[in-house]
Chain A
Amino acid sequence: MTDAANALVLFSNFVLIPGLTYGSQLALGALGVTLIFGILRFANFAHGDLMALGTMFVILVTWWFQDLGISINPLPTALLALPFGIIAAVIVSILIDKSVYKFYRKRKSPPVVFLIASIGVMFILNGLVRFIIGPNDQKFDDGARFLLKFQDFKILTGLKEGLAIKLSQGLTVIVAIVVVTALFLFLQKSRAGKAMRAYSDNVDLALLSGIEPEKVVFYAWLIAGTLAVIAGSLYGLDKSFKPFTYFSLLLPIFASAILGGIGHPLGAIIGAYTVAFSEVTITYAYKKFLKYILPEKWEPDHLVQLLSTDYKFAVSFIILVVVLLIRPTGIFKGRVI
Chain B
Amino acid sequence: MMKLTFKTFAAATLAVFCIAGAPALKADGHAVKIGVILGFTGPIESLTPDMAASAELAMKEVSDSGALLGGKKLTPVRADSTCIDAAAATAAAERLVSADSVNAIFGADCSGVTTAIANNVAVPNGVVMISPSATSPALTSIEDKGYFFRTAPSDARQGEVLAKVLKSRGISNVAVTYTNNDYGKGLASSFSSAFEGKIEISAAHEDGKGDYSAEVAALAATGSEHLVVFGYLDQGGKGIIQASLDTGAFSNFILADGMIGESLIEAIGDGLNGTIGTLPGSESEGAQMFLAHAKANGVNGDGPFRGESYDAAALIALAMQASGSTDRAAIQSKIMDVANAPGEIILPGQLAKALNILADGGAVNYEGATNVEFTDVGEAFGSYKELEVKNGKFTTVKVH
A: which residues have CB within 8 A of B? Answer: 13-15, 18, 22, 137, 139, 145-146, 149-151, 162, 164, 166, 235, 238-242, 244-245, 279-280, 283-289, 291, 303-305, 308-310, 312
Contact = CB atoms under 8 A, between A and B. Distances in A.
B344 interface: no
Contacts of B246: 145-146, 164, 166
B8 interface: no
A310 B208 contact: no
Given A13-B248, A288-B223, A305 B218 contact: yes
B221 A242 contact: no
**Interface size, B (range):** 20 to 34
B269 to A, nearest CB: 10
Given A285-B218, A287-B223, 15 more contacts: A14-B217, A150-B247, A166-B246, A238-B211, A241-B210, A242-B208, A245-B211, A280-B214, A286-B221, A288-B222, A303-B218, A308-B203, A308-B218, A309-B215, A309-B218
A332 to B, nearest CB: 28
Contact of B209 (A14, A235, A245, A286): A245
A279 B215 CA distance: 12
B248 A150 contact: yes
Contacts of A242: 208, 210
A328 B218 CA distance: 33
B220 interface: yes
A285 B248 contact: no
Contact of A291 (B206, B223, B239): B223
A309 B223 CA distance: 17
Given A18-B213, A242-B208, A151 B201 contact: no
A286 B221 CA distance: 6
Contacts of A284: 214, 217-218, 221
B240 to A, nearest CB: 11
A162 B247 CA distance: 8
Contacts of A285: 201, 217-218, 221-222
Contacts of B218: 283-285, 303, 305, 308-309
Contacts of B211: 22, 238-240, 245
Nearest to B213: A18
Contacts of A22: 211
A305 B221 contact: yes
Given A287-B223, A291-B223, A162 B214 contact: no
B53 interface: no
A303 B210 contact: no
B204 A310 contact: yes
A251 to B, nearest CB: 13
Given A284-B221, A288-B223, A279 B214 contact: yes
Contacts of A308: 203, 218
Interface string B249-272: 100000000000000000100000
A99 B213 CA distance: 41
Contacts of B215: 309
Nearest to B238: A137
Nearest to A149: B248
A304 B218 CA distance: 10
B214 A312 contact: yes
A308 B234 CA distance: 24
A273 B220 CA distance: 24
B210 A235 contact: yes
Interface string B160-198: 000000000000000000001000000000000000000
A6 B300 CA distance: 54
B203 A164 contact: no
A241 B210 CA distance: 7
Nearest to B269: A145
Given A13-B248, A285-B218, A244 B208 contact: yes
Contacts of A164: 246-248
Nearest to B267: A139
18 contacts: A14-B213, A14-B217, A18-B213, A145-B246, A146-B246, A238-B211, A239-B211, A240-B239, A242-B208, A283-B218, A284-B214, A285-B201, A288-B220, A303-B218, A303-B222, A304-B221, A308-B218, A309-B215
Interface string B4-47: 00000000000000000000000000000000000000000000
A293 to B, nearest CB: 14
- The 8 A-B pairs of least Cβ separation, nearest first, read A150-B248, A285-B221, A245-B210, A14-B217, A239-B210, A239-B211, A162-B248, A285-B218
A240 B210 CA distance: 5
B221 A289 contact: yes
Contact of B214 (A137, A166, A235, A283): A283
Interface string B261-289: 00000010000000000000000000000
A221 B221 CA distance: 43
A18 B248 CA distance: 13
B221 A288 contact: yes
Nearest to A145: B246
Given A309-B215, A312-B214, A287 B247 contact: no
A151 B217 contact: no
A114 to B, nearest CB: 28
A325 to B, nearest CB: 26
A307 B191 CA distance: 25
